[in-house]
Chain A
Amino acid sequence: MRINIILNGRNIQAETAPDELLIDFVRKQGALSVKRGCETSNCGLCTVFLEDKPVLSCSVLAVRADGKRVTTLEGLKEEAEQFGAFIADQGAEQCGFCNPGFVMNALALFRENPDPDEEEIREYLAGNLCRCSGYEGQLRGIQAYLRWKKEAAAGRDTPPDKK
């Protein structure tokens, strides 16, 4: 069956099978940041935005995305790089495998709640597993990024160490 999706702003029309999962569909379209980490809908690595909401692309049928907007890390390059620099500054990640899903969901959090406190950050990102770290570095990176955004908004633009 043929479906139409808007993938990262681009109209895509392609064949899919009734049981093809969105993760496999978008990977075939070149969105290789989207990866499988667990096969049990638990790790958050395959996170994409479906109509701007973060979802597990490993658990949605591609046909369900027919006529809808799908955004992957490839479509959020600038924002992701900016935020990723703060995570790197903290040396938060070791292997980096969990990074695409983590960045996607963190960006979803910032859109939904631009000024989250520590508990809100932990709760929103609880579904993104990292097996190298204890999440402390990521938390510091997020808080540093949010401080920078606030200062930038207040007109005191201090750029991140790495850009």
Chain B
Amino acid sequence: MLTIREYKRAESLKQAWQLNQQRGSRIVGGMLWMKMQRGTVQTAIDLSDLGLDTIEETKEAFRIGAMVTLRQLETHPGLAQYTGGAMKEALRCIVGVQFRNLATAGGSIFGRFGFSDVLTVFLAMDSYVELYQGGVVPMEEFARQGADRDVLTHILVKKTPLLFHYESVRNTRTDFPVLTCCGAFSPGKESCRFALGARPGRAVIIEDKEGLIDGGITPRKARAFGAYAAEHVPTGSNMRGSARYRSHLVNVLTARTALQLQETSGSFV
């Protein structure tokens, strides 16, 4: 059980950051994962009053506050349009609506959870985190780092022209994923970038460095790229699946996603 000694609603980001420098302090996002843990939090810091619960959309980018819920991400028309439905597809299987009305974008990203559908979909995008002290950091770099005491305030997504497709495999619908895969494809440049998560470690990026899908994705090229991904993406075993099974899933989901992207881009031409 989680014990909280003191609860503090931060009045400014500066105050939140200062409180968070003390040992035993924790910033509370949606608290869904934190609640599963045992231990004592000396000061629980709540960012609820700092106006971080909105998604700002401009012509060039989305700026997503750390306290925006997964449900807000899932139902945002601009994100749905930009990602071609991939954002919703990534989020809709996370437990239930009531859970997604609590879980936050910031908490999901800051936790850098291995099982995270959220990290997977953001990694495939041209995205960044905005930290109170650390400034703007590319998502890929942030995802590799360990946790520190900075405060994640926003997630930025540049509207780079990309097509997205999301796939996940779950043993049962609302469970943690056994594997997640989000592909991003740039039709003009014919380049692609795939994020694979729940390996079960943190999501990683794989790119087509050998030009396997150059000149348009055919079923044969998609299979070759799937095999390449399975070879290069490290997988491990846990109660949901073995490393061998996961590597097989990397292969299949990567190839399937690549083909789907080709189909979507075809309909765009």
Contact = CB atoms under 8 A, between A and B. Distances in A.
Interface in B62-100: 71, 92-93, 95-99
A60 interface: yes
Contact of B7 (A1, A53, A124, A127): A1
Contacts of A109: 97
Interface centre among A1, A47, A56, A108, by most B CB within 10 Å?
A56
Interface stretch (A38-46, A85-93, A144-152): A38-46
A109 B4 CA distance: 33
B6 interface: yes
A129 B164 CA distance: 31
B36 A127 contact: no
A53 B2 CA distance: 25
Interface in A82-124: 105, 108-109, 123-124
Interface residues of B, number: 28
Contacts of B36: 40-41
Contacts of B92: 123
Contacts of B31: 59-61
Nearest to B34: A59
B48 A64 contact: yes
B3 interface: yes
A53 B101 contact: yes
Nearest to B94: A127
Interface string A12-56: 000001110000000000000000000011101001001001111
A132 interface: no
Nearest to A62: B7
Contacts of B48: 64
Interface in B1-36: 2-7, 28, 30-32, 35-36
Contacts of A50: 101
A126 interface: yes
A54 B4 contact: no
Contacts of B99: 41-42, 56, 59, 127
B96 A126 contact: yes
B173 interface: yes
A42 B33 CA distance: 12
Given A44-B98, A47-B98, A54-B98, A59 B5 contact: no
Contacts of A41: 32, 35-36, 95, 99
Contacts of B233: none
A108 B35 CA distance: 25
A126 B35 contact: no
A64 B46 contact: yes
Nearest to A57: B98
Given A60-B31, A61-B31, A44 B46 contact: no
B32 A124 contact: no
B123 interface: no
Contact of A105 (B6, B7, B97): B97
Given A40-B36, A127-B174, A59 B102 contact: yes
Nearest to B36: A40
Contacts of A60: 31, 102
A100 to B, nearest CB: 13
A56 B101 CA distance: 9
Given A59-B30, A60-B102, A61-B31, A127 B2 contact: no
Nearest to A56: B98
Nearest to B35: A59
Contacts of B44: 18-19, 61
B4 A128 contact: no
A19 B37 CA distance: 13
10 contacts: A1-B7, A42-B95, A42-B96, A44-B98, A56-B98, A63-B46, A105-B97, A126-B174, A127-B97, A128-B96
Interface of B: 2-7, 28, 30-32, 35-36, 41, 44, 46, 48, 71, 92-93, 95-99, 101-102, 173-174
8 shortest interchain CB distances as A-B pairs: A127-B96, A19-B4, A18-B7, A18-B4, A54-B98, A56-B98, A53-B101, A55-B101
